[in-house]
Amino acid sequence: MRRLAPSSLRLHQLADLVPEMPSQQWTGFVGDVAERGILTPLVLAADGRTVLDGRHRLKAALELGLAQVPTTVADLEGRTEVDYMVRSALHRRHLTDDQRAILASRAAEERGDDRRSAASQTAANSRWHPDASGSPATTTHEPPRSREEVARSFGVATRKVRQAHGLRVVAPELADKVLAGDLKLKEADVLWRRRCQLEAIRALPEPALDERAQILLGDFRQLSKEIEADSVDMILTDPPYTHVALPLWEDLGELAARILRPGGFLVAYTGHMYLDEVMTALSRHLSYWWLCCIPFRGPKPSVHDRQVRTGFRTVLVYVKPPIGERPWFFDVVDGDRAPDKRFHDWGQSVKPARYFVSRFSSPGDLVLDPFCGAGAFPEAAVLEGRRTLGMEVHPAHVEVSRKRVGLALAGAPLQNPSGTDGGGGEGQDEDRTLRAAIYARCSTRDRDQNPQTQLLPLRDYVLAQGWEAGGEYVDLAPAGDLAARSQWRALIDQAARRKVDVILVFRIDRAFRSVLHAAQTLERLQGWGVGLRSYSEPWLDTTSPFGEALFHITAAYAQLERAVLAERVRAGIDRVRREGKPIGRPRVETRPSFRRRWPEVRERLRQGALSKRRAAKELGIGMATLSRLLGAEGAAQAGPGMPEPEVA
């Protein structure tokens, strides 16, 4: 170890690879050096002058005017100077994976691992410049093998390093914020994508809105004063969920009570934290109708104050009395894999909004959104053939809303094909409309087993999920009589031809006769890429491994239940026989109506005034039964030992 003058030392040219110490921490560090001096030697390169590790110690020594500082020469152990510098900083400082990814990208670039041709660089840029719909134009070029080695040395995934490199290429200011700890890498990714999408939509020509749609700039409490009373058919909105925004719910309820027509509905998205206060505010002006939910299909947000991981979005439904037409609707509404955050931090998806518009309003009705944000709800109203009026306080969001609604009016709405928030998730085709086939079965044609009992809720379920109707198949036959279940065979044929994506049944025992039958059918459906869902057992979804396991378990219990029921029936029959009681349907002779009419019909038969076929029809019995009755009476009249009369 040698002691050298700080002024004789110099920093490595890549010393800024590692972020600077925060200002508050730097102040304390300088005070500690002034009090105790520099205890840990500065690590130098082989030239004895270049500092590889100890940038802040050298800076503090120069600031305090120290005469000498302790130094030592680095033992690189076959590593490069850059690797040594970064590893030393990472060992001593608590950096997140995102910060490590930025550092790894910079280190790989300095080593020359990220030098690419102009064509490759263009491909990388296109990965970070999605179009207005949110779809990346192409994928990033495959990184060199050495980047994988750098990622491994920094303790992060290669994917993160590739993502960090793309961010540094197109948005270095956001990459610097990630390195400083002000942003997460995913948040920076979302910000950049949103910036590109907003630029793309702002570049579109100004749409020509007509009387079917208006988007107004301003506070709804002021703008709504111009709206006439009882002139709005439905309010669909998504107010802020924060505590400071609670007074807005009181204003919203008061507005709805004035401008909604009698029987008109208010459908409002809301959070969970202040649900009681929100409902209290609305109930002062409107009548509570129902509570719906939109399940989160992607990551579940956390409410740390209550230590809850929420799985659904709450949707409140209120009505202005007196209540008029009562629409049927499903209270669990399927949404996208994640809310549409392309244009707004609080953006929602169009898909569930369209369902609410379709159920609580009619074509041509006026739908109001006082908090329209980036225009998802007005767009949904236009797509469902309604008139719409939106209000928003931010000019940038009003501009986006007007263009979104204008495109919808022109029949070319913006699409969100990945069903994500634009945050770099896998681009699966989550929004493709599924073709759902409904299957219903009743064992008999009795009035107590009407297939409409199954079909009505199944139709509502398909509509609530936003699926395309793929036909209805109804059988009137026992589960085990596959020969008589022609509609089930036709449905399986359609599934084999890939004409449907999912089969929906009321209960699984409506479709299968045994566990073996269920397992064999499920294997065939999986091979065709067709799912199976049960309305009464919503946990049964064969498109997931867990749902498939539950399907087999429930099918086994269904078969067990049928077997136990059959065993109980047989035991009951045996008991009745032992007691000497008749089994089966009562004999026709015991019916009061038959006993009243039989003497008259019998006499007319003997006189030849009535044919046997006509007599059987009047008595409501079959020809065989009539012949048996006449034969029994003839044998009784002949007496013992005499031959029975022949009955034709």
Whether 250 and 369 map to the same domain: the answer is: yes
Top-confidence residue, 572 or 513? 572
If asked whether residues 219 and 255 sit together in one domain, one would say: yes
Calculate helix-pair angle for 275-283, 246-259, nearest 10 degrees. 30
For residue 224, the domain's CATH number is 3.40.50.150
* Rounded-to-integer distance, Cα 72 and Cα 45, Å: 9
Q: Which amino acid is at 300?
A: K
Q: Is 403 inside a domain boundary? A: yes
At residue 111, the pLDDT reads 59
- Who has greater pLDDT, 466 or 139? 466
Is omega for the bond preceding 322 within 30 degrees of 0, making it cis? Answer: yes
- State how far the Cα of 455 lies from the Cα of 444, in Å rounded to an integer: 16
Q: What value does the mean pLDDT take over residues 245-253? A: 94
Euclidean distance between CA atoms 356 and 351, whole angstroms:
9
Which domain, by its residues, includes 601? Answer: 588-638
Residue 68 lies in a domain: yes
Q: Look at the chain and report how many structural domains it folds into.
A: 4
> Percent of the chain having pLDDT more than 90?
23
Q: Rounded to an integer, what distance in angstroms lies between the CA atom of residue 247 and that of residue 277? A: 10
Q: What is the pLDDT of residue 252?
A: 96
Q: Which of 75-84, 230-239, 568-577, 629-638 ranks highest by mean pLDDT?
A: 230-239
25-80 confidence digits (pLDDT tens): 788 888 888 888 888 888 898 888 898 888 888 889 998 999 999 999 888 777 77
**Phi-psi region for residue 76, left (φ > 0), alpha (ψ -120 to 50) or beta?**
alpha
**Whole-number pLDDT of residue 158:** 83
Q: How confident is the model at residue 552 (pLDDT cuts 50, 70, 90)?
A: low
For the cut 50, the answer to whether the pLDDT of residue 431 exceeds it is no
In a domain, 445, yes or no: yes
| One domain for residues 494 and 377 | no
Q: Are residues 217 and 306 in the same domain?
A: yes
Least confident interval from 58-62, 225-229, 532-536:
532-536
Is pLDDT above 70 for 410?
yes
Q: Please check whether residue 503 lies inside any domain of the structure.
A: yes
Q: Which pLDDT score, from 0 to 100, does residue 183 have? A: 84
Instruction: Please tell me the predicted confidence (pLDDT) of residue 291.
Output: 95
Does the residue 121 lie in any domain? Answer: no
Residue with token string 């990472």? 90
Query: How far is it, in rounded angstroms, from Cα 124 to Cα 138?
Result: 8
Say whether pLDDT at 428 is over 50.
no
Residues 392 and 268 in one domain: yes
Question: Is there a cis peptide before residue 295, judged by omega within 30 degrees of 0?
Answer: no
Q: How confident is the model at residue 115 (pLDDT cuts 50, 70, 90)?
A: very low
Strands (E) located in 359-476: 366-369, 387-392, 435-442, 468-476
Tokens of 40: 């840990």
Q: How far apart are CA 506 and CA 533, in angstroms?
A: 9
Neighbouring residues of 200: CB distance < 8 A, sequence distance ≥ 6: 131, 132
Same domain, 248 and 372: yes
Q: State the SS3 of 178-227.
A: HHCCCCCHHHHHHHHHHHHHHHHHHCCCCCCCCCCEEEEECCHHHHHHHC
**H helix or E strand, kind and range, residue 578:** helix 545-578
Looking at the structure, tell me whether residues 462 and 531 fall in a common domain: yes
Q: Rounded distance, CA 264 to CA 366, Å? A: 11
Choose one of 343, 374, 409: the last residue of a domain: 409
* DSSP-assigned beta bridge partners for residue 319: 265, 287
Is residue 145 predicted with pLDDT exceeding 50?
no
| Residues with Cβ within 8 Å of residue 506, at least 6 apart in sequence | 440, 454, 457, 458, 534, 535, 536
Q: What is the mean pLDDT of the chain?
A: 79
Residue 171, helix vs strand vs coil = coil
481, part of any domain:
yes
What angle (nearest 5°) sits at the alpha carbon of residue 559, between those of residues 555 and 561?
115
**Structure-block tokens of residue 16:** 């800024």
Q: What is the pLDDT of residue 391?
A: 95
For strands 531-534 and 502-505, give the pairing.
parallel
Q: Which pLDDT band, with edges at 50, 70 and 90, does 281 fall under?
A: very high
Q: Label residue 648 by pLDDT band (50, 70, 90).
A: very low
- Residue 517 shares a structural domain with residue 614: no
Cα distances from 313 to residues 243, 267, 644, in angstroms, run 17, 13, 82
Confidence of residue 420 (pLDDT cuts 50, 70, 90): very low
CA distance 155 to 8: 35
pLDDT band at 423 (very low <50, low <70, confident <90, very high): very low
Strand partners, 294: 313
Confidence grade of residue 119 (pLDDT, cut at 50, 70, 90): very low
Do 305 and 358 lie in one domain? The reply is yes
Distance from first CA to last CA of the chain, Å, rounded?
129
Residues 292 and 326 in one domain: yes
Last residue of a domain, one of 409, 425, 448: 409
Last residue of a domain, one of 107, 139, 165: 165
Is the domain of 502 the same as that of 601?
A: no
How many whole angstroms separate alpha carbon 90 and alpha carbon 18?
9
Rounded Cα distance between 42 and 72, Å, is 6
Residue 204 lies in a domain: no
pLDDT cut 70: percent of the chain above it: 77
366-398 confidence digits (pLDDT tens): 999 999 988 899 999 999 999 999 999 988 888
Residue-level pLDDT at 336: 63
Question: From CA 389, how far away is CA 391, in angstroms rounded?
Answer: 7
Q: Are 479 and 513 in contact (CB under 8 A)?
A: yes
Residues 6+ apart with CB under 8 A from 582: none
What pLDDT digit, counting tens, does each position of 597-622 carry? 888 888 888 888 888 888 888 888 88
228 plus 377 within the same structural domain: yes
| Secondary structure of 330-352 in HEC code, one letter for each residue | CCECCCCCCCCCCCCCCCCCHHH
Burial 323-354 (b: 16+ CB within 10 A, else e): eeeeeebbeebbbbbbbbbbbbeebbbbbbbb
544 falls within a domain: yes
- Mean pLDDT score, 490-515: 86
Tokens 């972020």 found at: 19
At residue 424 the predicted structure's pLDDT band, cuts being 50, 70 and 90, is: very low
